[in-house]
Amino acid sequence: MRIKVLTIFPEMFSILTEYGVISRALKEGIVDFKAINLRDYTTDRHRTTDDYPYGGGSGLVMKAEPFLKAYEKIIRNEGKPHVILTSPQGKVFDNDKALELSTKDSLLFLCGRYEGVDERVMNIVDEELSIGDFVLSGGELPSMVMIESLLRFVPGVIGDMESVKRDSFFNDLLDYPHYTRPREIKGMKVPEVLLNGNHEEIELFRRKESIKRTLKRRPDLFLKHDFDRMDKKALLSLFRELIGDVE
């Protein structure tokens, strides 16, 4: 997979290239990543990437020409990428979108700043994506969030794909609680079921806790979940617990 980012702050992306699972994927050649300095595609000696808006108003607007020139060079050298503009006006990015993007051969993220980008840039954009209903100073952080998330689904990036499948949102359920050593701390104990070595009981406990947590925190996810045999068994166990509490 190839991922490129157009930004006026390429050095911000060192956090992806130097730390964690993505840095390892880069070293192993699983992912080809490059943060491109948008200023390299300007034409004036000040390397200007923004200007005042036509029609007046506050703030500055990112110029279209640097984005378009960089895009044209990428197409000439590598073919057309799937282009994403990070924007609070876009569709909210979620786990399903991360999984979809992970199947693309080539992605290009456009990072705007100030009041946004010249509308003519939209001619090369395939989709606008947002990480939530709030505004940041630029598109760099949203791009990093999306890249980190989607790369988890690329084979080889995460050593254990089973851990990815158990993450929150993968199957419309939130993750179950996790525990590690020591067995007891300040009077708080690890549930006994996790210590008995019975894998079927452990799986049932985790599924039940996952369902319980989802029902409490995200009932919208619970309602759209497609329940399998283990889910139904966990629901029955949970129901029996609730009836017992009432009695």
Catalytic residue among 152, 172, 206, 207: 152
Q: In this structure, what token pair is assigned to residue 242? A: 């609730």
CATH number reported for the structural domain that contains residue 107 in this entry: 3.40.1280.10
Q: Of 115, 130, 161, which residue is a domain's last? A: 161
Does one domain contain both 73 and 7?
yes
How many separate domains does the chain show?
Answer: 2
Question: Is 56 within the bounds of a domain?
Answer: yes
Domain shared by 141 and 232, yes or no: no
Catalytic residue among 65, 127, 148, 167: 167
Asked if residue 174 belongs to a domain, the reply is no
Check the annotation: does 136 bind a ligand.
yes
CB 74 within 8 A of CB 108: yes
Q: Select which of 2, 53, 88, 127 is catalytic.
A: 88
74 is in an annotated binding site: no
Tokens of 132: 């939530």
115 catalytic, yes or no?
A: yes
Select from 164, 157, 91, 96 the least CA-distant residue to 128: 91
Instruction: Please tell me whether residues 127 and 205 are part of one structural domain.
Output: no
Q: What is the pLDDT of residues 101-141, one digit of tens each?
A: 999 999 999 999 988 999 999 999 999 999 999 999 999 99
**In this predicted model, what pLDDT tens digit does every residue of 32-80 receive, in sequence order?**
999 999 999 999 999 999 999 999 988 999 999 999 999 999 999 999 9
Task: Report the interhelical angle of 20-27 vs 140-151 (nearest 10°).
Answer: 70
52 and 102: one domain? yes
> Per the annotation, does 26 bind a ligand?
no
What number of residues does the chain have? 247
Range of the domain at 43: 2-161
> Of the residues 65, 78, 115, 175, which is catalytic?
115
Q: In Å, what is the CA distance from 120 to each residue of 51, 65, 67, 69, 127?
A: 14, 9, 10, 13, 14
Q: Is 245 known as a binding-site position?
A: no
Q: Which residues pair with 185 in a beta bridge?
A: 188
Q: Are residues 96 and 22 located together in one domain of the fold?
A: yes
Band (pLDDT 50/70/90 cuts) for residue 170 is: low
- Domain ends where: 161, 194, 223? 161
Place of tokens 């949970």: 238
pLDDT of residue 192: 95
How many angstroms separate the CA atoms of 6 and 9, rounded?
9
Asked whether residue 155 is assigned to any structural domain, the reply reads yes
Give the mean model confidence (pLDDT) for residues 186-210.
94
**Where are the alpha helices (H) located in 29-157, listed in sequence order?**
64-78, 95-101, 140-151
Active site residue 167: yes
**Strand, helix or coil for residue 161:** helix
pLDDT at 243 over 90: no
On whether both 157 and 233 belong to a single domain, the answer is no
pLDDT for residue 159 is more than 80: no
Residue 41 contacts residue 70 (beta carbons within 8 Å): yes
Q: Is 15 marked as a binding-site residue? A: no
Asked if residue 139 belongs to a known ligand binding site, the reply is: no
**Same domain, yes or no, for 208 and 128?**
no
Which whole-number Å values give the CA distances from 66 to 62, 81, 87, 90, in the listed order? 9, 17, 18, 22
Q: Which residue has the higher pLDDT, 175 or 51?
A: 51
Q: Is 121 known as a binding-site position?
A: no
Which of 44, 43, 45, 47 shows the shortest CA–CA distance to 8?
47
CATH number, residue 235: 1.10.1270.20
